[in-house]
Amino acid sequence: MIRLLCPPSYFDVIYSINPWMDVNIPVDKPLADRQWTAFAETLRELGETVLTIDAQPGLPDMTFAGDNGLVLGNTFIPSNFRSPQRAGEVAHYIKWFEERAYTIRPLPADVVFEGLGDVVFHGRAALIGHGIRSDQKAFDYLMDYLPKLNILGDVRIVDDRYFHLAMAFGFLDNETVLYYPPAFDFESQQKIIRLFRNPIPLSDVDANEHFACNNLVIDKTVLIDDCTLALRHRLDQYGYKIICCPMSEFKKSGGSLRCLVLSFLDDELN
Tell me the catalytic residues. 164, 259
Pairing of strands 2-5, 221-224: unpaired
CB 49 within 8 A of CB 2: yes
Main-chain phi, psi angles of 252, to 5 degrees:
-65, -20
Q: How many helices (H) and strands (E) does the chain have?
A: 7, 15
Q: Taking Cα atoms as reference points, which of 256, 224, 270, 203 lies closest to residue 67? A: 256
Long-range contacts of 244-247 (CB under 8 A, 24+ apart): 245/35, 245/38, 245/39, 245/42, 246/35, 247/35, 247/39, 247/211
Q: Determine how many CB atoms are found less than 10 A away from the CB of residue 185.
A: 14
DSSP β-bridge partners for residue 241:
221
